[in-house]
Amino acid sequence: MNAFDRNTNLEIIRQLRNSEKMSLDNFIGKILIPLKDDNPTFLKVLYMDICYILKGLDHDTDNDLLIEGGDFVFEEGDIKLTGYQTRLHDITVWLHSELILEAVGKTDNPKDFLRELGKFEEEIGKKNNYTPEYKSELQKVKRSIIKEKRDNYSNDDEGLKKYLDFEVLELKPNLFGIGINFNEIINRWNRK
């Protein structure tokens, strides 16, 4: 893998999507850290790409600490968060901590540290200068996560919204120009 090639980021994102949570530590040690050593900005770019993919996927109440009976809930040795978590959510925690350590190393003054962190967060929010081809590949991953979330994580307050969305609408010749794909609705109902 080449730390300077954006296709490496896509490959890493795809590998992370299909990995097991327990293998993340090995993945970090064997793949991400050597790439970081080759290119100091590699983790920052990977973090921005993953944040672009995850942007808008979660509800406002997602990614909060899950507390039951006044205690934190643990799952597989980690504190459990609310909402549906993917491996990309998990890896962003590590990437963010690495970026914070980098910002801490740049300054001794807490105000400068906060300024550096704010500047980076602002940079992530404005990041949208992807090539059309690369953006299309990131969007494919995003659609895959949306489908995974819809199939694996049902939220009771969504009701019929889970079954009726734009994917079941088809443009086909008929009286009104838009048809409903009832087979897709039935397939979703059966997967439930």
| pLDDT attached to residue 12 | 93
| pLDDT attached to residue 103 | 77
CB burial string 30-53: b at 16+ within 10 A, e below: ebbeebbeeeeebbbbbbbbbbbb
Q: What is the pTM of this model?
A: 0.72
Provide Rg for the chain, Cα atoms.
20
Q: For residue 170, what are the β-bridge partners?
A: 179
- Which segments of the chain have a pLDDT < 70? 125-126, 154-189, 191-192
124, with CB counted inside 10 A (0-12, 13-18, 19+), is: middle
| pLDDT attached to residue 32 | 92
Residues 9, 44: Cα–Cα separation, whole Å = 11
184 token code pair: 């897709």
Residues 15, 10: Cα–Cα separation, whole Å = 9
Residues 188, 192: Cα–Cα separation, whole Å = 6
| pLDDT attached to residue 157 | 47
Angle separating helix axes 6-17 and 42-54, nearest 10 degrees? 60
